[in-house]
Structure 1
């Protein structure tokens, strides 16, 4: 039996944080290693406990969930950060996407959906709904030339990720192994200066390298988020 996922909960609403502790702790494959209530606590707990996933509220007393993601990627780059919000603005979504977090989830989701999202987050897959990604990708692109351009295959991989394909689905569609696809993803992250697949998609959209085909995303056999809306 594999070791349970180690989850750190970050939320300044004590009742909600305790609810997350109970819900996640009830899953047989998860262990809540701590509950903290601000960015500073999240950074300290991450360095001490090395969680697999950090589930963080966006609005915190001393910063944001995006700040948590930026700090965690420095302290424990192997950890995935999933950010929770109420009703996010485009500014919040862009901040989360470019922070290194793997995704975003609204607090209106059911507890079973949050548990499922934590499992997905642990794999590094993108957790953004189609409508949220669309709001990111309609931003005006910048005329920037990369120091090391993406190859044609890397652009194919990036477009599939943007349209919601999981690692296994994208590798099947391209006729390559999952190991080869992950190697392409690592090259994409390096060239774009990104720390997560979501951040890579957001940066590629900002540079005008990709657009989101909503129809393709709806047809995708395995969306980056099993919880995607619409």
Structure 2
């Protein structure tokens, strides 16, 4: 984890202080390199795990946190859960490879101000950072219509949630979605870049949380919640 100096009082022309949270070091390096080319954005630190992120964000108090959704130990939603109550001035922008509806809902309900996918260009990402820092909500074009639909029934309210689905971590939902589509454990492992043992652990956890007995019941459960 790389940390910078804690912030002082900022003027209007001061750069937006950004903190990166992602469990892939190469991806963090690429984002840092892209943002370093842009004026008025300063990357002040980075972390590759939930615990590192929580400690460093509390210390540095950045303006904007670029937050990966899928990480071990609860992912981006867990970082939000631990940090937001104590640091309401820190803005979180999800930056994820996933554009799945449940991932978007989960992280927005947890308090993120926006959600963009990792296909975004460096300059557009910098623009998104400035916009959320300025108070806007920012979403990738593919997600914007979906988010509007979710909020349309209850303007100003958080998106509706499924209490049973909310029990699952983003990674458990990824595994469940592929399992319900008929993927074997080895295929799921390859698709998500995790080990077969980790897949087995996630499946066991989902079975325990849902109180179901086998993959066929899980597939039906996932289909009922439109995960497939």
* TM-score interval, normalised by the smaller of the two chains: 0.5 to 0.7
Q: Which structure 1 residue ranges, 5 or more long, are not aligned?
A: 143-154, 159-199, 208-230
- The answer to whether structure 1 residue 87 and structure 2 residue 87 are counterparts is no
What is the alpha-carbon distance in structure 2 between the residues aligned to residue 141 and residue 20 of structure 1? 33
Shift of 1:18: 0.7
For residues 1-230 of structure 1, the aligned pairs below 5 Å read 2-129=13-140, 131-136=142-147, 138=149, 200-201=156-157, 203=158, 206=160
The offset of 1:122, in angstroms, is 0.8
Q: Secondary structure at the match of 1:2?
A: coil
Deviation at 1:42, TM superposition (A): 1.2
RMSD between superposed Cα atoms in Å: 2.6
Distance 1:120 1:141 in 2: 22
Shift of 1:69: 2.4
SS of the residue aligned with 1:76? coil
Q: How many residues align?
A: 150
Pairwise CA distance, 1:131: 4.8
CA distance in 1, matches of 2:115, 2:28: 17
The answer (yes or no) to whether the contact 1:137–1:206 under 8 Å persists in 2 is no
CA apart distance, 1:130 = 5.8
CA–CA distance in 1 between the matches of 2:96 and 2:28?
A: 13
TM-score (norm 1): 0.58
Q: Which has the higher contact order (CA 8 A, sep 6+)?
A: 1
| CA gap 1:140/1:102 in 2 versus in 1, 3 angstroms | closer
Larger Rg: 2
Point out where structure 2 has 5 or more consecutive residues left out of the alignment. Answer: 1-11, 162-228
Give me the TM-score of the superposition, normalised by structure 2.
Answer: 0.59
